[in-house]
Amino acid sequence: MEPSVLGLFVVAGLASLFMAWVIGAGSSGATPFAPAVGANAISTMRAAFVVGIFGFAGAVVQGANVSEAVGQGLIGGVSLPATGVIVVLFIGAGLMAIGIKTGYPIATAFTVTGAVVGVGLALGGTPVWPKYVQIGAVWVLTPFVGGGLAYGIASVLPRADVPERFSVPLLAGLVGAVLANVEFASLGPDGGAGTLIGLSQRTLHIDGLVGTVAVSVLVAVSIGILVSWDIRRDLSGGLRRVLLVLGSLVAFSAGGSQVGLAVGPLLPILDDVGSIPVVAVLVGGGFGILVGSWTGAPRMIKSLAQDYSSLGPRRSIAALVPSFLIAQVAVLLGVPVSFNEIVVSAIIGSGAAVGGGDAISSRKILVTVGAWGGSLVLALALGYTTTLVLPVV
């Protein structure tokens, strides 16, 4: 290996680590627990600590799909060189850092995706339109699906004819069943990705769709009964514990999705420096997210918790359930998605269900949406023009 190649890879690796830190300090570290902090279920500093731990775990066991999509699925015909990777990561991290400094949630997925496409097109690559359509559909539908689900849930939870001892366990059981069916690294029969349901079926020697449904229902019912018992004996404490578990699951999902934005651009150049396993890169990215969550996330957590909606525990649960579901769909599809967009949309939906317009800062929403769209266009333009001006090899 030439020293110049190794040097560029080291610089790219440091840029990736910085990007991971920015993600942890921003979208991945702030959004999962913002509803819980807004509901006074956990302090800001403790939320940052917990989200870092779960974000690291999610990055390691669920980060491969989005990493491969970002690194190899956005541009056809070319592979980003080391200098191109450096350009992508510094553009993405720089725009995110501006968002953290100003307190507005810049969408990480938009900045990195735009930068990768911009650099790739400048290098002579071709657009991958089917992937763009898939990504665009997820981005466009997320506010409507997430906000709509949150609105519906928040409209039901406070109703006297739907007691929390029934409604909240039902939601918890649904989340548990989904979690049991998502893929994790090393749970498959050959050491690859697999689900907890699949592992249970192999252990119990149960095959087929009927077995999958039966085990999923058993998981959902078991979790529902446990949550119902907890809420019956302590309503406020039970709601708080459900909220914290949901926040942890969303943090886990955030790590699995967002780590790909930091380490995905590195994948095309791994072969140039020897056989570095992808899991090692995911661990490095997860570590960067963890440190970012611990050191930089409190500012963004406070901004999201206080500025978007005045949340209680029920509205916070209503915001986190669709956030978890949408995040896992994105991980499954390998779509880079913004956790700011997911959680902010859910917060807006849950706030509107109870408080109407008074519970939501309209100006903050408009500025945020503008920042999302503007960051995508700006990142693409910067990636394209920088690659044309600089010698990218």
Q: Which residue has the tokens 């690559």?
A: 125
Any idea of the CA torsion for 291, 296, 298, 301, to the nearest 10 degrees?
Answer: -100
pLDDT for the residue 139:
92
The predicted model gives 225-245 an average pLDDT of 92
Q: Phi-psi bin for 114: left (phi > 0), alpha (psi -120 to 50), beta? A: alpha
Residue 92 has pLDDT above 80, yes or no: yes
29's enclosing H/E stretch is: helix 27-30
pLDDT at 282: 93
Rounded Cα–Cα distance for residues 123 and 289 (Å)? 30
Neighbours of 295 (CB within 10 A): 14
Average pLDDT over residues 177-194: 85
Q: Average pLDDT for residues 83-97, to the nearest whole number?
A: 85
Report pTM.
0.88
CA of 151: how far to CAs of 59, 67, 318, 327, 355, in Å?
29, 32, 7, 18, 11
**Number of domains forming the structure of the chain:** 1
Check residue 368 and give its pLDDT. Answer: 73
In DSSP terms, 194 is beta-bridged to: 184
CA distance to 21, 102, 316, 336, per residue, from 296 (Å):
8, 13, 23, 22
Using CA atoms, how far apart are residues 288 and 260, in angstroms rounded to an integer?
A: 12
315-324 pLDDT, tens digit per residue, is 888 889 999 9
Helix intervals (H) in 73-195:
82-102, 108-122, 129-156, 164-181
User: What range defines the domain where residue 63 resides?
Assistant: 3-389
pLDDT top residue among 12 and 35? 12
| pLDDT at res. 309 | 46
Q: What angle do CA 52, 56, 57 make, to 5 degrees?
A: 120
Please report the pLDDT score of residue 306 as a whole number. 65
pLDDT of residue 358: 52
Q: What is the pLDDT of residues 57-85, one digit of tens each?
A: 999 999 999 999 998 899 998 888 888 88
